[in-house]
Amino acid sequence: MKWRQFLIVSCAAILALPTAALGEKSDTLRRIGFLGNSTAALEANLIGPFREGLRSLGYVEGNNLLIEWRWAEGKYERFPALISELIAQNVEVIITAGTPATLAVKKATQTVPLVMVAVGNPVGNGIVPSLARPGGNITGLTSISTEMDGKRLELLKEAVPSVSYVAVLWNSASPLQVLAEKQVQIAAQSMQIKVLSLGVRTEEEIEAAFATMIRERPNALLVLADRLFLHHRKLIMDFAAQQRLPGVHAYKELVDVGGLMSYGPSYEEMHRRAAYFVDKILKGANPGNLPVERPTKFDLKVNLKAAEGLGLTIPRAILRRASEVIE
Amino acid sequence: MTPARGNKRTAEPAPAKRRSRLVRKYALLISVLVSGALIVSGAVDSYFSYQDTSLALGRIQREKAASAAAIIERFVKEVEAQMGWTLNPTFLPPEEALKKRRSDFQQLLQEAPEITEIAYIDGWSGREELLVSRIAVDVIGSGKDYANDQKFLGASANGRYFSPVYFRNESEPYLSLALRGRQREKGVTIAEVNLKFVWDVISQIDVGRDGRAFVVDSNGLLIAHPDISLVLRKTDLSHAPQVTAARAEAGQQGMITAGLGGRQVLSSHAAIAPLAWLVFVESPVSEALAPLYDALIRTGILIAAGILLSVLAGLMLARRIVRPIQALREGADRIGAGALDHRIDVRTGDELEALADEINEMTSKLRDSYDNVERVSALKRYFSPHLAELIVSSDEDGLTASHRSEITVLFCDLRNFTEFSSIAEPEDAMRVLEQYYLALGIRLREFEATIGHFAGDGLMAFFNDPLPCPDHATQAVKMAVAMRDDVGQLLEGWKKRGLNLGFGMGIATGYATLGHIGTEDQFHYTAIGSVVNLASRLCDEAKSGEILISETVYAEAEDIVRVTLEGERPLKGLPKPVPILKMVGLQDIDPREISKN
């Protein structure tokens, strides 16, 4: 028995020598496509970690990896054209973020693998049949934003107990946002908070929503997770500051430009993790066999400067839970 | 001795071939012996090092599995310890207590990211009082009934309860950890622990470059693996050979089996007792046994080098052994070809040198006896064969050096032969001489006379040197009579064929000088002196059929010889006239019966 193992091992060792020598990694140039919702400048903090993730897996842009960048600049109607360009470039994987962009890619191709970075509810929106076994050509990460919209409202109520009438900004062009808005309505009802629902699709509609808010005078603003609002974050947060509207938003980026609070998974981390899926797929994994991953870490970010501007004192209980505080 | 010249020529191509065959044989023998020893020792060494290494690897892997199990157990223990802070009893009114507990739970979620949700169940009613979540809206006083829930019952009874692993959202593995409050506090706190965090732990366990550790729960479900996608897909490993073997407690530690990736792996496991989980540590056989492969390769290289060296050493050794043998062969060949002067030069200080010395000695003896044989054949020309051998076997220098001795000299020749040979056919003259010398030769050998020289029909012989002969004069006379009778018969025969030849003899006794005369190769042993001259002159004086003898001969042989004095005659080369004695016959002896004694 031992002798047989020994013989097998010896033979295997002899056979393994030449094959091991031949198994060197070939440095061919791989081409992937990134479909951005906003612009490179506005999503710089997200594509940075994505690139870092790729680098840590041995990909060097220009050497063995080429990334085709396409930016929709907040105009979702551009997606089909940009996706066609990427497919025409024969990219091996498309990376995108958000439900509208993901749905656009899903509509455009069933063969080119797609890594979605932060999709609120991929099962609910019919992008994948299940998280564990997505099947098809799509995999990636969910931001579970619909599950957390209620939590954000709860945090807002805790931080600013006086909130009774909240304006909710959501993208009516996104099927996800339709679900999200419903979740917020349910949560708000349980907290006896009145909702001013503002579904918008474009910058013009945002401007129109601003007008509505000025007219309706809500005492808080909740911006849901959609890349449209990431694109127009400065515009919206400037308005919120000007109108003294506190809020707990999905993106910490909104807090960075003057928003009061944000709660949710780290989008930067999700972008970093996306590189893992790209790597797996480039190495031949079937995206349908890679489970969609849920975030496990959630950050509460508080902007005390904004609070000061709003004339608010954030309770200690909230500050204690904050993972990041802007003084 | 006949030199084997012909043999040498035919034997010439053989040596090189035969030598190389011997070299090859020795080289092969030495190489096979040394290589064989190397290979056998290498194989035995490799076998034992395989045994040792695989045992050591199994032990190391088992330790790794045990330490991995300890690390994962600590992960759960830490969650439990962190929950402990929230278990202290409160002495606040219910409203305040709830607020405090919610704050504590929020604090706990902040500190323990593994906990997604935490609930508080009233100990008396078994109903949920509070649910704090990281994701969903907190729920206060839902009143959800846990009274019959295993988590509540288990924790109430034992203080602590671990639920089986379950998957949330069909994707993330979770564990419910239920703890009963301390002291009077009977409430149960239930935390939902996201086991995806074990991933961080398990990914950091060092199990070699391609090795991995993974965890399965009591149902064989994969709950932690460095490749998280396997966990999120709810991989069922309950039928994997290493899992079934470990469950059956028959799992041989360090077993070689098919790993999750399909490769052959070396697998060990350790149990996490309170959870009934199993931690497996696997390394690909190729990596785990890499040190063994290195050792094998090292041994292989050493053996190859050893074989190469042994072949070289074998060749060198074989050459060293064969070179003196070859020298012996060549020497024997040359000696065989007649080069008796050849000496074989072998300086090996062993039996081969002894053999060479013996051959050299044998050759020198061979040369001596060959020289003797040559000398004997030379002496046979003027001595009887018996005499010649006697001379050769005795001290030759004493005989051949010139010396004085008393001898009796006999001269004889044919009369009228010169005239005959000038007119006769050379063949006839030669035939006559042949018969003549045949007849003389018989008597010369019989009487053991020494032949001085012969030329044409003339012969000179003498007695008492080198062979001592006390009655040399008597012997000479007897031989002369015998010769006269023998040649007389020949003369009668020749006369019948019309040849008118005669035969005369002269004998003298006296001192003469004896020794070699001639060149190195061609020499005669002969006598010179007045006695020789006298015998020659007497021969000249003798008529056909006459034997003339000197006074000294008669003085020695008067007992047997009858003579008549022919008067004194002056002879050429002699200072005064010499009395001439003619032999009439022998005293009372029939001439036909004359012989040496």
pLDDT, tens only, B54-84: 788 788 888 888 888 998 899 889 999 999 8
Put simply, whether A21 touches B (Cβ < 8 Å) is no
Q: How confident is the model at residue A11 (pLDDT cuts 50, 70, 90)?
A: very low
CA distance B279 to B209: 18
Sign of the alpha-carbon dihedral angle for A78, A80, A86, A89: negative
Q: Each residue of B242-281: pLDDT tens digit?
A: 888 887 765 556 677 777 777 788 888 888 888 889 998 8
CA distance B381 to B313: 62
Residue entry with tokens 């350790």: B270
Distance from CA of A305 to the nearest CA of B (A): 23
Cβ separation of B137 and A190 shorter than 8 Å?
A: yes
Cβ separation of B103 and A13 shorter than 8 Å?
A: no
CA distance B227 to B225: 5
DSSP-derived 3-state class of residue A29: coil
pLDDT of A279 above 90: yes
Average of per-residue pLDDT across A286-291: 94
CA distance B97 to B90: 6
Cβ separation of A9 and B135 shorter than 8 Å?
A: no
Put simply, whether A317 touches B (Cβ < 8 Å) is yes
Q: Is the ipTM reported for this complex over the cut 0.90?
A: no
Tokens of A200: 């918008």
Q: Each residue of A173-190: pLDDT tens digit?
A: 999 999 999 989 999 999
pLDDT of B565 above 80: yes
pLDDT value at residue B11? 41
Pick from A145, A146, A155: nearest CA to A191: A155
Put simply, whether B138 touches A (Cβ < 8 Å) is yes
Taking CB atoms and an 8 Å cutoff, what residues of chain A touch B233?
132-133, 289, 291
Those residues with Cβ within 8 angstroms of residue A32's Cβ, 6 or more apart along the chain or in another chain:
A65, A66, A67, A68, A91, A92, A93, A94, A95, A278, A282
Nearest to A296 among B50, B196, B285 (CB): B196
Is the preceding omega at residue A161 within 30 degrees of 0, hence cis? no
> Is B440 or B34 the better-scoring residue by pLDDT?
B440
CB B255 within 8 A of CB B267: yes
CB B443 within 8 A of CB B550: no
Nearest to A291 among B232, B256, B289 (CB): B232
The answer for A 205-244 residues in CB contact with B (under 8 A) is: none
Nearest to A16 among B110, B138, B286 (CB): B286
Taking CB atoms and an 8 Å cutoff, what residues of chain B touch A133?
233
Cβ separation of B289 and A13 shorter than 8 Å?
A: yes
> What phi and psi values does residue A58 have, to the nearest 5 degrees?
95, 10
CB A73 within 8 A of CB A39: yes
Average of per-residue pLDDT across B419-432: 87
| Substitution target from B53, B105, B134, B135 for chain A, most A beta carbons within 10 A | B135
Q: Each residue of B388-414: pLDDT tens digit?
A: 666 666 555 555 667 888 999 999 999
Closest residue on chain B to A297 (Cα): B113
pTM of the model: 0.64
pLDDT value at residue B94? 81
Put simply, whether A29 touches B (Cβ < 8 Å) is no
Put simply, whether A9 touches B (Cβ < 8 Å) is yes
Put simply, whether B258 touches A (Cβ < 8 Å) is no
Average of per-residue pLDDT across B427-448: 88
pLDDT value at residue B590? 59
With pLDDT > 70 as the criterion, what percentage of chain A qualifies? 92
Cβ separation of B138 and A297 shorter than 8 Å?
A: no
Cα within 13 Å of Cα(A188), Cβ side? 21
pLDDT of A97 above 60: yes
CA end-to-end span of chain A, whole Å? 70
Put simply, whether A294 touches B (Cβ < 8 Å) is yes
For the purposes of burial, counting CB atoms within 10 Å of the CB of A78, is it exposed (0-12), middle (13-18) or buried (19 or more)?
A: middle
| Substitution target from A15, A294, A299 for chain B, most B beta carbons within 10 A | A294
Single-letter amino acid code for the residue at B517: I
Put simply, whether A186 touches B (Cβ < 8 Å) is no
Name the helix (H) or strand (E) containing A325. Answer: strand A324-326
β B403-415/B578-586 pair status? unpaired
Q: Each residue of B357-380: pLDDT tens digit?
A: 888 888 888 888 888 777 767 666
Nearest to A6 among B47, B172, B197 (CB): B47
pLDDT of B295 above 90: no
Pick from B428, B403, B354: nearest CA to B527: B403
In Å, how far are A152, A172, A183, A201, B335 from A206, measured between CA atoms? Answer: 21, 11, 21, 8, 125
CB A202 within 8 A of CB A174: no
CA distance A110 to A320: 46
Taking CB atoms and an 8 Å cutoff, what residues of chain B touch A296?
113, 194, 196-197
Distance from CA of A151 to the nearest CA of B (A): 5
Q: How confident is the model at residue B5 (pLDDT cuts 50, 70, 90)?
A: very low
The answer for B 69-108 residues in CB contact with A (under 8 A) is: 103, 106-107
Say what angle helices A79-88 and A99-108 make with each other, to 10 degrees. 50
Cβ separation of A13 and B293 shorter than 8 Å?
A: yes
pLDDT value at residue B516? 73
Residue entry with tokens 């009613």: B125
Nearest to B135 among A144, A289, A293 (CB): A144
Residue B128 pairs with which residues in a beta bridge? B121
Cβ separation of B229 and A187 shorter than 8 Å?
A: no
Q: How confident is the model at residue A19 (pLDDT cuts 50, 70, 90)?
A: very low
Q: Indicate the DSSP class of residue B589.
A: -
pLDDT of B591 above 70: no
CB A152 within 8 A of CB A175: no
pLDDT value at residue A307? 94
CA distance A131 to A150: 22
DSSP-derived 3-state class of residue A1: coil
Taking CB atoms and an 8 Å cutoff, what residues of chain B touch A16?
286, 293
Cβ separation of B47 and A292 shorter than 8 Å?
A: no
Cβ separation of A6 and B107 shorter than 8 Å?
A: no
Cβ separation of A289 and B286 shorter than 8 Å?
A: no
Q: How confident is the model at residue B8 (pLDDT cuts 50, 70, 90)?
A: very low
Cβ separation of B110 and A147 shorter than 8 Å?
A: no
Nearest to A132 among B51, B107, B233 (CB): B233
pLDDT value at residue A73? 93
Taking CB atoms and an 8 Å cutoff, what residues of chain B touch A5?
50, 54, 256
> Is A206 or B590 the better-scoring residue by pLDDT?
A206
Nearest to A133 among B172, B194, B233 (CB): B233
> Is B517 or B323 the better-scoring residue by pLDDT?
B323
Cβ separation of B171 and A294 shorter than 8 Å?
A: yes
β B403-415/B450-455 pair status? unpaired
pLDDT value at residue B584? 86
Lowest mean pLDDT among A111-125, A162-176, B302-316, B476-490: B302-316
